[in-house]
Amino acid sequence: MRKIRLFNVLHPAIFFLVAFVFFLMFYPFALERYFPFFDTTLKTRGLLATYLIVFILAAHLAPIYLLVKTFPNLKDMVTHVRMDIKYWKRAFYLFFLSGVALYLFIYFFKMGTIPIFLDDLESARVGAKAGLGKYILIGNALISVSLVYRFAIEKFVLNKIKLISILYLLVGVFFVMGIGFRGPAAYLVVSCFLAYLIFTQKYLEEQGISFRYILTGIFFIVFLSLLGYYRHTGELSYRAIGSTAWTTAVNVSNLEDIVYNTDKTDDFYYGQTVLSDLGMAAGLHEKGFTGVILKDKYQLEFEGEGMTITSPGEAYMNFGWFGIVLHALFLGTLAGLFYEIIIRSGKLSWFVILVLFSLNFSRLAVGGIVAPGLFFLVPQLILCAAFIFIAKLKI
């Protein structure tokens, strides 16, 4: 039986749990006493705890009962990685330059500006990207996939990262962050770091990262929160601490709204939110995704297009308590099986897919399944397959 190691950053379940605990569990079970923005109900705490337990059990047990019960060590699999790197650079430049060109097209031909340089960034960035989501997501995916593969291949072959690769990363961060949102740029940096990290000897031996990297990650999140507060107010003060704490509470507040309104009307969607989101993605209607619809329905007022529905919220509004168990069971099983299948392949090109999948899988904790899945997971998986084909990496 393979254990799910807490610091095994290759496992999709670990990234999901980090996001789930930080953005959904931390406030009601730890910070609410010190920063009482609102009272979390006992029912909401129960929903969160139930979801967490079912997810962990599913991620741990599903591979045991659904796959052959042999679990090779990661360090043993990496020595059998098979690859041909003869053509990888042409694939990198094709993807990276295409991503940069797409961002230039967005900024200078569609937007007419780079939002991050505008004075009223908070409102300008939302209006500037209206109707351009598909271009932005494709550009982001092209840059992310190309850079992550570059970092992984250089570390595996040369056991180091060249200075030119760092410069490419900085260029990528600039273009991705130009929209005005820190999140995608942070994901890009972390993705490249993980692509480097997974082929270090220490990681392969321990199947986990050092605790100091965990602390660095926590400080990185706090830094981004403080940066956002400074960008919004132009000052740093003790209020910035409360703003950082609110980051851990806002998604719980949204979950509270969903549970309260669902119970008040006793009106479950029975899967209609999933169909509606799929229809929105396919261009069959223009009502908006579930988060946008619920913001209007609940008459919430805040900056941004819609509320984050969270995975527990998506589950509860559709099928109640049964939905909580079903949703967590599905995502936990998916995380566990995907990890085992990729690890057993022994292929570097698939390991990189696992890095991108795991990191983007964490988005599902606060965004639900459909929107993050369609706009982050699926595009990057498709582009990974295209990169492997063009680079002729043996898989």
Residue 212 domain-assigned (yes or no): no
User: pLDDT of 50-83, one tens digit each?
Assistant: 999 999 999 988 888 877 555 555 555 555 555 5
Looking at the fold, whether 80 and 69 belong to one and the same domain comes out as: no
Residue 85 domain-assigned (yes or no): yes
- DSSP tag of 109: I
Looking at the fold, whether 83 and 147 belong to one and the same domain comes out as: yes
Q: Which amino acid is at 157?
A: V
Residue 353 domain-assigned (yes or no): yes
What is the DSSP annotation of 80-92? T-----TTHHHHH
Q: Give which of 368, 173, 180, 167 is closest to 281, Cα–Cα.
A: 368
What value does the mean pLDDT take over residues 92-107? 94
Can you give the pLDDT at residue 76?
52
d(CA 372, CA 359): 11
Looking at the fold, whether 255 and 325 belong to one and the same domain comes out as: yes
Looking at the fold, whether 114 and 35 belong to one and the same domain comes out as: no
The pLDDT mean for the chain works out to: 82
Can you give the pLDDT at residue 388?
85
Residue 34 domain-assigned (yes or no): yes
Its domain, for residue 150, covers 76-206+348-391
Looking at the fold, whether 39 and 140 belong to one and the same domain comes out as: no
Q: How many distinct structural domains can be found in the chain?
A: 2
Looking at the fold, whether 267 and 199 belong to one and the same domain comes out as: no
* pLDDT at position 257 over 80: yes
Residue 223 domain-assigned (yes or no): no
Looking at the fold, whether 289 and 168 belong to one and the same domain comes out as: no
Per-residue burial over 81-111, b if 16 or more Cβ lie within 10 Å, else e, is bebeeeebeebbebbbeebbebbeebbeeeb
Can you give the pLDDT at residue 390?
86
What is the DSSP annotation of 224-239? HHHHHHHHHHS--STH
Residue 227 domain-assigned (yes or no): no
Looking at the fold, whether 246 and 306 belong to one and the same domain comes out as: yes
Looking at the fold, whether 31 and 113 belong to one and the same domain comes out as: no
Looking at the fold, whether 325 and 253 belong to one and the same domain comes out as: yes
Looking at the fold, whether 182 and 294 belong to one and the same domain comes out as: no
CA 61 to chain centre: 24
* pLDDT at position 241 over 90: no
Residue 5 domain-assigned (yes or no): no
Helices 42-66 + 12-20 axis angle, to 10: 180
Residue 125 domain-assigned (yes or no): yes
Q: Give which of 99, 113, 101 is closest to 180, Cα–Cα.
A: 113
Q: Give which of 99, 102, 114, 253 is closest to 181, Cα–Cα.
A: 114
69, two tokens: 């019960």
Per-residue burial over 249-258, b if 16 or more Cβ lie within 10 Å, else e, is bbbbbbbbbb
* pLDDT at position 29 over 60: yes
Looking at the fold, whether 83 and 59 belong to one and the same domain comes out as: no
Distances (CA, A) of 24 to 49, 69, 75, 248: 10, 33, 34, 7
Can you give the pLDDT at residue 311?
97
Can you give the pLDDT at residue 1?
47
* pLDDT at position 208 over 80: no
* pLDDT at position 119 over 90: no
Stated pTM of the model: 0.85
User: pLDDT of 308-341, one tens digit each?
Assistant: 999 999 999 999 999 999 999 999 999 999 988 8
